[in-house]
Amino acid sequence: MYQLDHILVTLDLSDMDDFLIRYSNYLVENFNPKSITFMHVMNTYDIPKDVLKAFPDMDEPLTDIVKEDLQEKVDEHFAYTKKVKTTVLVEEGLPTEHIVQFTKDNNITLTLMGKKIGYRGRGSIVRKVMNISPSSVLLISETTRPKIEHIMVRVDFTKISELALRMGLRIQKLTDAKLSCHHVYKLPIKYFAQATPENEKKMKFHMEKHSRKEYAKFMKKMKLDPEKIPCTYSFDKENDEAQVLYNHALNNGADLILIGSRLKSELGDVILDSTSEKLAGTEKNIPVLVVKDRKTSLGFLETLFD
């Protein structure tokens, strides 16, 4: 899962496509994948039939016309068509279903998607794909620079944190970036009934001390040296871990946030934990890589939708 050898780039015919294609150059330069696919899914109801009837002389299917346009964009902005197997696909159907099915069938290990700050777009598709895709998902904005110099991994000492840190180590090896961890802790709920400024300060001291011990055990289990991968700690007072993580990344020069996924089912929907969802928000322009365990995700989805 850490090889990042098959990359999917999702396009939507907006100006964001140019940014995604250009950023793909950086991924190929550093990750050296075996294949990269640029894909657009035309929603079946995007163009009304009565509109299509107005063009009876259209010789080519609409998907072919769109593919030619996207191929021109790829030829213009993507520099490695001869270095890596490159495919441009345009399909018709439901975008989320097609994208997820493609990642399942083609062993996609990394899906690159855009989260638009300045452009209007269908953020719901990004959220849905991020939730249920078995591949890891990298989200960038149109302001993202093609560089990875400081990777910050969110750790909560669970299995998903181990996955994220392993991915961080892989990307560090490929990019020579700085790697650090950050843990966000909260005060126990039962504590608030007797909260005072003095008690809060004392409780925060002991919670951070406990977190440091947990990080040492976490790293020992992974057979890693905590001195070589420093961890910092923050107190989440407002119950908004995503904002705390983002602020810390922003203040410490991190240009990539890694977070392990935690899939769960709720009323028939498959969703990530709220921290991953909120980090993917368009108002947060630091790139976010949501790390998935492909095998576990596939098993979860097969069980859920069997």
What CA–CA distance (Å, rounded) separates 230 from 306?
43
> Contact at 8 Å (CB) between 94 and 234?
no
The torsion of the CA quartet 128, 130, 134, 139, rounded to 10 degrees, works out to: 150
Tokens, residue 177:
């970036």
Give all domains of the chain, ordered by start, each with its CATH number: 1-144 (3.40.50.620), 147-306 (3.40.50.620)
CA angle 289, 188, 196 (to 5 degrees): 120
Residues 6+ apart with CB under 8 A from 190: none
Residues 156, 182: Cα–Cα separation, whole Å: 9
d(C-alpha 209, C-alpha 225), whole Å: 18
Which pLDDT value is given to residue 62? 79
Query: pTM for the whole thing?
Result: 0.88
DSSP 146: S
What is the structure's pLDDT at 273?
66
What pLDDT is stored for residue 41 in this prediction? Answer: 94
Q: What is the mean pLDDT of each run of 10 residues along the chain (306 residues)?
A: 89 93 97 97 67 59 87 96 95 91 94 72 74 92 93 95 96 97 84 67 90 97 96 93 95 96 55 75 88 68 51
Chain position carrying tokens 């939730």: 131
- pLDDT of res. 202: 85
Axis crossing angle, helix 16-31 with helix 159-175, rounded to the nearest 10: 80
Query: What pLDDT is stored for residue 267 in this prediction?
Result: 43
The identity of residue 102, as a single letter, is F
Distance, CA of 157 to CA of 117 (rounded, Å): 32
Q: What H or E segment, with its residue span, contains residue 150?
A: strand 150-154
Of 235, 212, 3, the residue nearest 107 (C-alpha)? 3
Q: DSSP of 54-67, one letter per residue?
A: T-TT--S-HHHHHH
